[in-house]
Amino acid sequence: MSVGWYWAVGGLRRAVALGAFLALAAFILGPLLTLLLWAFAGSWLFPNLLPEFSLKWWAYVLGNADVTKAIRMSFLSAPAATLLSAVICIPAAYAFARLEFPGRRVLLLSFLSANAFPKIGLYVSIATLLYRLNLMDTFAGVVLIQVINTLLFMIWIPTGTFRGINRNLEEAARDVGAGPLRTFFQVTLPIALPGLLVALLFAFLAAFDEAQGTLIVGTPNHITMPVMMYTLVLSYPQPVGAVFSVLLSLPSLVFLLVAQRYLRAGYLAAGYSL
Amino acid sequence: MARLSLRHLSKRFGTHAAVHDLTLDVADGELMCLLGPSGCGKTTTLRMIGGFAAPDAGDIQINGRSVVALPPERRPTAMVFQRYNLWPHMTAAQNIAFGLRLRRLPRGQIEAKVRDALGLVGLPGAGHKYPHQLSGGEQQRVAVARALVLEPQILLLDEPFSNLDARLRVHMREEVKQLQRAVGITTVFVTHDQEEALTIADRIAVMKDGVLQQVDTPAALYARPRTLFVADFIGTMNLLPARIEAGAVAAGPWRLPAAGGLRPHGGEATLAVRPEDLVLDPAGAPVRVRRVVNLGHYLQVLLECPGVAPLRMFTEKGASLEEGQGVRVRISRALLFSGPDVAELGGPMRPPVAAPAEAP
Ligand SMILES: Nc1ncnc2c1ncn2[C@@H]1O[C@H](COP(=O)(O)OP(=O)(O)OP(=O)(O)O)[C@@H](O)[C@H]1O
Ligand SMILES: [Mg+2]
């Protein structure tokens, strides 16, 4: 066989490496492939190794009013939560990175603490607050609960990113005549962009995947895809769940492709002082 | 054009005074070097002039007008930083053009100015390159171009050539000096390299621990240092413990006649002798040659003398000296530091050009 040379040349180390690689690939890609198979499967009868290709489950899922509503809800609330989070957190992160003020460390840690404890308690107490504010079962309520989930990423990653940008670069911009705002938008922000993109990606996924809090705050009328998933898994045929999972992973895929383009830009490392 | 005047400037970080009561005047078109060991407050001083650090006390005036209240973007200064100068997301040309675009110059004019500036620093083809595609030296040159293109009244350079190799550093130093002469721009140049300072400065301000020690021309600084620190820091200097006696100064095997008026401050004093002021003379004191180093057009001789640390002597190449040989050496000129007083002893001052600076 043609693999003979491989063993002859490579020896044991290569064999082990290849084995590990295949195992890893199977471990990661296996479930994904199964999902894809299920999502595009028509009837899958006994002697056939592969099911026949069909979009019928897609038609079924996308034709279900409850499901499309959840999809719409997810694709509206998660970007809204990410944007809101960015608008609040990026300036805060800049302040954490650049300003020395009393309580800075404690405040920074408090953003971590939101993720350090079981969330369900936090969600319940927030729910009582939202109830008083008449925000239960509203779009705004869902967005708020998702924002909470993004805070960790949108504070910590940008703070680190801004810290890594040498102050001289900002001072040089001031020196040639740019004011503080222009310096931020034309120098700091573009240099920080790769780091901020990573933060946006994580924040979006955190918001998009959020189910616990949304379930508490959004039912019955503001259901997102992950929440819908609970119902689907229990009461619909298996391929529906697969189709849904593929839909759920689409945003991450798109985001990864976009981010990768930016992350490859050559200047990435140059502005950071290590 | 522009006079710069620093008045009793102070800056402290916590309890540590980075700059203390610094008063300095830089004349129009002058190239002033701030020279001193690492951590003596040079960068801090420059940052206060540029507007990046607020002085705790004192005033900064440009053409007689105080600028301490102005943010950096409103000061007529341009700075080249020690490190991290160029914006990594812009090409060299965009870096240089940034300040011009802020001034809303027409496109064509910006392009012409950028081209000229790049030519000026010897990088005519580098406009389209990103900083990470340029060497450290090229980046510093683009930074100089970016500062010059705005035609600032005062140019601030913070060790701009510290990460260049020795040859390029000497070359760039000459270039900047020429440029500065041609444009006539008032310049403050920070360096811890005394050779750099001695070769390009009109005047040098020597700092130590945040305190200004002496401001003088390179020649005067070399010939007449006013403190022991400056004497030791500039050029090569032999320091000998000395005793002030009636009408004379005793140091090692030498006794130097001293004109009256020397006040003994507890009798402790230090005699500072340049290597070229030690001369071979049959009437001198007996010493022994320990080592001879040929430094090209002159010899550096290490002398062993009774009672003092080895002394360095510069002498002409013709002298036939062998290691271990006994010779007689005279001190032709010296400075005596005694408490706050400085006294010149011996013959006429030597021109400093003959004195090679310490080899790097
Ligand atoms: N932001 C700061 N916070 C605290 N201390 C500082 C700060 N900046 C400078 N210092 C201290 O002030 C002193 C002077 O620093 P400065 O950077 O002016 O030195 P320098 O003469 O430029 O030295 P070098 O030749 O190494 O660049 C140093 O002791 C330094 O530790
Ligand atoms: Mg410095």
Pocket test for ligand 1, best of B12, B33, B42 (most atoms within 8 A of CB): B42
pLDDT value of position B112: 95
Over range A184-188, report the average pLDDT: 94
Q: So what's the ipTM on this one?
A: 0.82
Angle at B105 between CA B103 and CA B111, to 5 degrees: 120
Going by pLDDT thresholds of 50, 70 and 90, the confidence category of residue A219 is confident
pLDDT value of position A272: 44
Report the residue count for chain B. 360
Q: Which ligand is nearest to the CA of B22?
A: 1
CA distance B318 to B26: 44
pLDDT value of position B262: 65
Average pLDDT of chain A is: 82
pLDDT at A267 over 50: no
The CA distance from A258 to the nearest CA of chain B, in Å, is 18
Point out which residues pair with B281 in neighbouring strands: none
pLDDT value of position A86: 95
pLDDT value of position A125: 85
3-state DSSP helix/strand/coil % of chain A, to nearest 5: 80, 0, 20
CB distance B42 to ligand 1 below 6 Å: yes
pLDDT at A65 over 90: no
Residues of chain A with CATH 1.10.3720.10: 57-272
Q: Which atom of ligand 1 is nearest to the CA of B37?
A: 25
pLDDT value of position B263: 64
pLDDT at A84 over 80: yes
pLDDT at A155 over 50: yes
pLDDT value of position B354: 40
pLDDT at A156 over 80: yes
The CATH class given to the A57-272 domain equals: mainly alpha
Tell me which of B67, B79, B84 to substitute to probe the interface with A (most A C-beta atoms closer than 10 Å).
B84
Q: Which residues in chain B show pLDDT less than 70?
A: 259-267, 347-360
CA distance A127 to A185: 37
Q: Which ligand is nearest to the CA of B18?
A: 1
Query: Quick check: A267 and B130 CB within 8 A?
Result: yes
pLDDT at A1 over 80: no
Q: Whose CA is nearest to atom 19 of ligand 1?
A: B39
A175 touches chain B (CB under 8 A): yes
A273 touches chain B (CB under 8 A): yes
Q: Whose CA is nearest to atom 1 of ligand 1?
A: B13
**SS3 of chain B:** CCCEEEEEEEEEECCEEEEEEEEEEECCCCEEEEECCCCCCHHHHHHHHHCCCCCCEEEEEECCEECCCCCHHHCCEEEECCCCCCCCCCCHHHHHHHHHHHCCCCHHHHHHHHHHHHHHCCCCCCCCCCHHHCCHHHHHHHHHHHHHCCCCCEEEEECCCCCCCHHHHHHHHHHHHHHHHHHCCEEEEEECCHHHHHHHCCEEEEEECCEEEEEECHHHHHHCCCCHHHHHHCCCCEEEEEEEECCEEEECCEEEECCCCCCCCCCEEEEEECHHHEEEEEEEEEEEEEEEEECCCEEEEEEECCCCCCEEEEEECCCCCCCCCEEEEEECEEEEEECCEEEEEECCCCCHHHCCCCCC
